[in-house]
Amino acid sequence: MSKNILFLIADDLGKCLSSYGTKGLSTPHMDQFISQSVTFDQAFTSTASCSASRTVMYTGLHPHETGQYGLAGGNAHFQTFEHIQTGPKLFNALGYQTGIIGKVHVGPGQVFPWEVREESGSRNVAWVAERAEAFLDHASETKRPFFLTVGFIDPHRDITTRGEFGNSETCNDTFIPPEIKPDEVEIPPWLTDVAETRIEYVEYYKAIARLDYGVGLILDAVHRRGLDESTLVVLCSDNGPPFINSKTTLYEAGIQLPFIMRVPGSSQGIHNPNMISYIDILPTFLDWAETQPPPPPRRLGRSFLSIVNREDVLDEQHWQHQVYGSHTFHEVANYWPTRFLRNRRFKYHRNIAWQLDFPFASDLYASLTLEGIRRNHLKNDNENDTDDDVMVGSRSLRQYVRRPREELYDLETDAQEVNNLVASEAHQTILVRMRNDLEKWQADTRDPWLLRDGQSVVALQRYAADGLKMPNKADFVLDSVAYSRMKQYRVDDPALLRSEE
């Protein structure tokens, strides 16, 4: 029996699904699929940016390992290193018919050599389904297993207009968007509930409904061809919803994502509470195909196929209880390198460029929502209002834009990551442990943004033979007196990577 793979990727969906508790949505096709599948409640991407997140899915590596530091399109033009192993390259070698339809947004082409590549920015999901059917039919004719990726454009913003989500698309007059009123949408707690937010969420919900229609068409095509029992199907999102406090941030709304997997012969309609990372996706696909090529250096992900049916949290000997993430760019002007480590209770952020204001992606800056949020504190015409009165969910806009060097949150009591515990004496042991674990992970993955004295340790290790030494401080030391008193370490000394912050 062929071991096929169908990989459905939504664009900017986040956990905006009824199965994750969102109210007011009508998504009958995805609801049916979810009832037949396993829903992972603790799935995390490495970064909340389209191209970089997709590269994580396709390579099992973090963005700072692949070179896909930010968006592939426009004037950003970040590209994956040519030596990187990718899913299409590996599955081509296994004799699979590989293909991608819709959004690609990674490059260069020779590193991602899908056999069938039908790249399109169309939101016509009926056309997407037609092309998927043609792909399935060709695989049947050639009697080859297939690995098909469908990159939906929905529910991404229409990037040429403000507040639009492509909802004039009727899919060859086969799709009619639902009628949704502003008071029927649910504004998540990480976002401020103003009139503009509700206006945009109505359009967002409509785009999700179109995504649902497209998912239904493709799953129906798989079913009609009798492929349900031979095809592993995954539905996920590249990052969180296209709103401030989510997309492009490493806060929970940006990186904790939907991940639904239907495995032939496995349990149906269950929720799996174990933590998975998007670096685990490619190893899982290879495991399903019953092959395991020699792993490349530093690939840390592993298959979760063996635990897919678990409804209990496995112990640390049998599964991971922490995940890591890496963000450096979104658009080329959005430079803000930051890393995170999250376990089942605590979340640690290391903001490498903390002296810079956190940048806005252009579509988020242009959104009606951000404008409404910034004007919201003026509704009482109070001349004494300040920037601190502007709130993004539970976080002030000032807190959102100007972040400290480190952040530590107890997610059990502070799910919105607002109360920073870095200065808490009671949490110093946790802080030091998570800081050191994060920096060890940076060293293991040869992160160019593992800094000492404001410089890349990886870049400077070529001077080890010349005896270059540096202090064990992350930021550049401006005080020459303090610098002269600091212990200096050779750039290849492991002790340099044991933080003394």
Q: What is the pLDDT of residues 59-86, one digit of tens each?
A: 999 999 999 999 998 899 999 999 999 9
Residue 321 pLDDT exceeds 70: yes
**Between 381 and 330, whose confidence is greater?**
330
Confidence at residue 382, expressed as pLDDT on a 0 to 100 scale: 56
Q: Which amino acid, residue 319?
A: W
Enumerate the β-bridge partners of residue 4.
231
Confidence at residue 74, expressed as pLDDT on a 0 to 100 scale: 87
- CB-hemisphere CA count at 13 Å for 280? 24
How far are the Cα atoms of 43, 82, 205, 388 from residue 447, in angstroms, in the given order? 23, 18, 38, 35
Q: What count of other Cβ atoms lies within 10 Å of the Cβ of residue 153? A: 25
- Band of the pLDDT at 386, cuts 50, 70, 90? low
- Nearest-5° Cα angle at 392, 389 to 396: 45
- Band of the pLDDT at 385, cuts 50, 70, 90? low
Spacing of C-alpha 106 from chain mean position: 14
Residue 371 pLDDT exceeds 80: yes
Going from N- to C-terminal start, the domains of the chain cover 450-501
| Coil/strand/helix, residue 5 | strand
Query: Residues 33, 27: contact at Cβ < 8 Å?
Result: no
Query: Residues 149, 128: contact at Cβ < 8 Å?
Result: no
Residue 184 pLDDT exceeds 90: yes
Q: 440-483 pLDDT, tens per residue?
A: 999 999 999 999 999 999 999 999 999 999 999 999 999 999 99
Confidence at residue 498, expressed as pLDDT on a 0 to 100 scale: 76
Confidence at residue 389, expressed as pLDDT on a 0 to 100 scale: 79
Range name among 150-159, 288-297, 353-362, 418-427 with the lowest pLDDT average? 288-297
Confidence at residue 249, expressed as pLDDT on a 0 to 100 scale: 97
Assigned token pair, 312: 């209990």
- Closest by CA position to 374, among listed 203, 197, 247: 197
Q: How far apart are CA 1 and CA 67, in angstroms?
A: 37
Confidence at residue 312, expressed as pLDDT on a 0 to 100 scale: 96
Q: Is the dihedral of CA 49, 53, 55, 61 positive or negative?
A: positive
Q: What is the pTM of this model?
A: 0.96
Q: How far apart are CA 158 and CA 164, in angstroms?
A: 5
Residue 102 pLDDT exceeds 70: yes
Assigned token pair, 491: 């750039």
Q: How far apart are CA 290 and CA 280, in angstroms?
A: 15
How far are the Cα atoms of 129, 152, 213, 264, 426 from residue 12, in angstroms, in the given order? 20, 10, 17, 27, 37
